[in-house]
Amino acid sequence: MTQTLEAAADEQADRTGPPNPAPRVRRWARLEFDNWALLLLPLLGFLTLVFVIPLLLLLSKSFTDPAVGLANYSDILTNPLYLKVLRNTFVTAITVTLVTVVIAFPFAYLMTLATPFWRGVMMIAVLIPFWTSLLVRSFALVLLLRDTGVINTVLDSVGVIDEPIPMLRHLSGVMFGMVQITLPFAVLPLYATMRTIDRRLLLAAESLGARPSVAFWKVFVPLTIPGVFAGLILVFIQALGYYITPALLGGPQNTMIGQLIVEQVSTVLKFGFAAALAVVLLGSTLILLAIASRFVDMKKYLMGSK
Amino acid sequence: MTRTLTRVLLGVIAALTVCYLLLPILIVIPMSFSDSSFLNFPPEGLSGRWYQRLIDDPTWLHSAATSMRVALVSTVCAVVLGVLAALGLVRGRFPFRGGITALILAPVIVPYVIVGLSVYIVFLRIGLTETTLGLVLVHTALAVPYVTINVASGLVSFDRNIELAAQSLGSGPVSTFFRITLPNIAPSVFAGAVFAFVTSWDEVVTAIFLTGPRMTTLPVRIWSGVKVQVDPTVAAISALSLFVILAAFLALGAGKLLQKALRAYRSRNVPNVIGVQA
């Protein structure tokens, strides 16, 4: 489907119009509002109650709890411990994002080249983890990465290592796990973009004398940029907000902002401070999305093939 | 030559990536049948004792039942709200289309930690923490975008002339919806429902905020189990949780196949009286 949902919807509305266009409907239609639109109200009302209002209260709490003012925010910005968590969150998220997209790119590219059978196999390999429990996958990664885990046992038994490589509670473990979990979010938009690229363009470039590698880098890669960009943003947003995976795989050195939020609520009961951290996290997420949506239609990619 | 080499290299990369994607999930299943009390690899012997232990422990069953209840109710709520909203979104004329779509998609974008914290603060005040209702409300919000988007794309590709035909034959709007529209978009409704179910069944982050000793879901039980120690019981329950998700997707696949078969059957057997192309 090349057109966006919205455009298609508009088109359909224009084509068929409201059923039985009575005069009353026509009057509403002039205000660009009709009876069909009323069907949106239950969901909008519901989301307002359980989503929008709680978020607004969270925002207000960050400025008012325990006292009115900017104390919570200045706490974040002045305490080196919290600054370290913020820096760590962004550094980890950026690294995870880059590694993920670098691994996803050749994989998605190969999906466009593969025979239908192998493409199916690759697609299933992407979709199964996409839809299986994040928690179970993180737990499985613990089983893989432990000192007595699968990777170390296998490496030891084939004689590559004498001592287990410490991965769990280290940055390497967090990276291994987070990339595993975010990989489908990069593969799906990349594949969606690459699939629509006309491969005859490559042939044209080659017939005009470009070597295959030149044709690939100068013709194919630039055309994949919307997909790359969508993948980068989706993975980065995911990575910024993760709680479960870094909490299970990382050590105290790798604390991310999600963990700090939960800790502030569950152990020290500093709701206002946790709210301020959440506002910082949400603000970063929304700013990134706003920037991204200027360049690509994020809505098209957001759902992947979920 | 270099091209062949590149392809071989790409093939190796792809094979490694497939392993990387699937290995963690596949590892859980053999581990859960381990004979020993430690999750060593490879398992020394096979046994079902960890599954037996799950069955014997009523608290696991209880939290699994809670998860199932929350997931089923959330799915129903998400489907009702999502189908209505999809109809409005695709067919309605209204201002701020972009903003409204963004609001409906927002629960997918906002990190679950933030959703969990914000509803926790509100629910704490109105006494909805540690209740099925509280969790259902949040999971419905998290699941509804999947239903709305699936159904909306189903509606876009649905030919509305069939509806107009029904209405010209005297069918009212409600009966048109249930007898014409719904059967036609049923596959996308069903797909949305499966995604909604899986979203709730799996969800742990907001559940960590909203559950407690009085009420716990399966993922939260797994979560607290993993944090304390890496135990074969957790591997067994994780494997079971995976089987539920797998079953949901198998149902989705079976539904699609069934629909195809039905279509083929109908187009073969129904006499084409009015000359409509099937």
Q: Is the predicted pLDDT of residue B276 greater than 50, yes or no?
A: no
State the CB neighbour count (10 A cutoff) for residue B98: 11
> Cα(B152)–Cα(B91) distance, rounded to whole angstroms?
9
pLDDT of res. A8: 54
Q: Are B116 and A38 in contact (CB under 8 A)?
A: no
Mean pLDDT of B215-220: 92
Subunit contact A43:B122, Cβ cutoff 8 A: no
Subunit contact A50:B3, Cβ cutoff 8 A: no
- For chain A, the three-class secondary structure string (H helix, E strand, C coil) is CCCCHHHHHHHHHHHHCCCCCCHHHHHHHHCCCCHHHHCCHHHHHHHHHHHHHHHHHHHHHHHHCCCCCCHHHHHHHHCHHHHHHHHHHHHHHHHHHHHHHHHHHHHHHHHHHCCHHHHHHHHHHHHHHHHCCHHHHHHHHHHHHCCCCHHHHHHHHCCCCCCCCCCCCCHHHHHHHHHHHHHHHHHHHHHHHHHCCCCHHHHHHHHCCCCHHHHHHHHHHHHCHHHHHHHHHHHHHHHHHCCHHHHHHCCHHHCCHHHHHHHHHHCCCCHHHHHHHHHHHHHHHHHHHHHHHHHCCHHHHHCCCC
Closest partner residue to A50 (CB to CB) among B138, B242, B249 is: B138
Distance of CA A212 to the CA centre of its chain: 33
Subunit contact A133:B241, Cβ cutoff 8 A: yes
Subunit contact A135:B95, Cβ cutoff 8 A: no
Q: Which residue of A has its CA nearest to B134?
A: A50
pLDDT of res. A9: 52
Q: Is the predicted pLDDT of residue B256 greater than 60, yes or no?
A: yes
Closest partner residue to A58 (CB to CB) among B104, B121, B149 is: B121
pLDDT of res. A288: 87
Mean pLDDT of B3-7: 80
Give, for all 306 residues of chain A, the pLDDT tens digit.
334 555 555 555 555 445 554 555 555 445 567 888 899 999 999 999 999 999 999 999 999 988 888 889 998 899 999 999 999 999 999 999 999 999 999 999 999 988 899 998 899 889 888 888 888 888 888 888 888 788 888 888 888 888 888 888 888 889 999 999 999 999 999 999 999 998 889 889 989 988 888 888 999 999 999 899 989 988 998 899 889 999 989 888 889 999 999 999 988 888 999 999 999 999 998 898 888 877 777 666 655 433
Residue B212 has what DSSP assignment?
Answer: B
- Give A110's contacts in chain B (Cβ within 8 Å): 10-11, 13-14
Name the minimum distance, in Å, from the CA of B78 to any CA of chain A: 9
Subunit contact A13:B93, Cβ cutoff 8 A: yes
Name the minimum distance, in Å, from the CA of A80 to any CA of chain B: 23
pLDDT of res. A31: 57
Q: Are A86 and A75 in contact (CB under 8 A)?
A: no
Top-confidence residue, A171 or B139 = B139
Name the minimum distance, in Å, from the CA of B269 to any CA of chain A: 31
Residue B104, chain A, CB below 8 Å: the answer is yes
CATH 1.10.3720.10 fits B45-262, yes or no: yes
Read off the pLDDT band of B51 (50, 70, 90). confident
- Give A302's contacts in chain B (Cβ within 8 Å): 105, 108-109
Subunit contact B81:A42, Cβ cutoff 8 A: yes
Q: Is the predicted pLDDT of residue B278 greater than 50, yes or no?
A: no
State pTM to two decimals.
0.86
List chain B domain ranges: 45-262
Residue B28, chain A, CB below 8 Å: the answer is yes
> Cα(A208)–Cα(A214) distance, rounded to whole angstroms?
11
Residues in CB range of B18: below 8 A, 6 or more apart: A121, A122, A125
Residues in CB range of A129: below 8 A, 6 or more apart: A137, A180, A181, A183, A184, B21, B22, B24, B25
Size of interface A-B (CB pairs under 8 A): 287
Q: Which residue of A has its CA nearest to B228?
A: A248
Within 231-270 of B, beta carbons closer than 8 Å to A belong to 234-235, 238, 241-242, 245, 249
Q: Is the predicted pLDDT of residue B268 greater than 70, yes or no?
A: no
- Give A150's contacts in chain B (Cβ within 8 Å): 27, 41
pLDDT of res. A7: 56
pLDDT of res. A299: 64
Closest partner residue to A58 (CB to CB) among B104, B118, B204 is: B118
> Cα(A48)–Cα(A30) distance, rounded to whole angstroms?
27
What is the share, in percent, of chain B residues with pLDDT greater than 90? 43
Read off the pLDDT band of B272 (50, 70, 90). very low
pLDDT of res. A155: 85
Q: What is the pLDDT of residues B57-84, one digit of tens each?
A: 888 889 999 999 999 999 999 999 999 9
Mean pLDDT of B33-45: 73
pLDDT of res. A14: 52
How far, CA to CA in Å, does A140 sit from each of A129, A180, B2, B64? 12, 11, 38, 20
Q: Is the predicted pLDDT of residue B275 greater than 50, yes or no?
A: no
- Give A147's contacts in chain B (Cβ within 8 Å): none
Subunit contact B84:A143, Cβ cutoff 8 A: no
Closest partner residue to A140 (CB to CB) among B27, B114, B121 is: B27
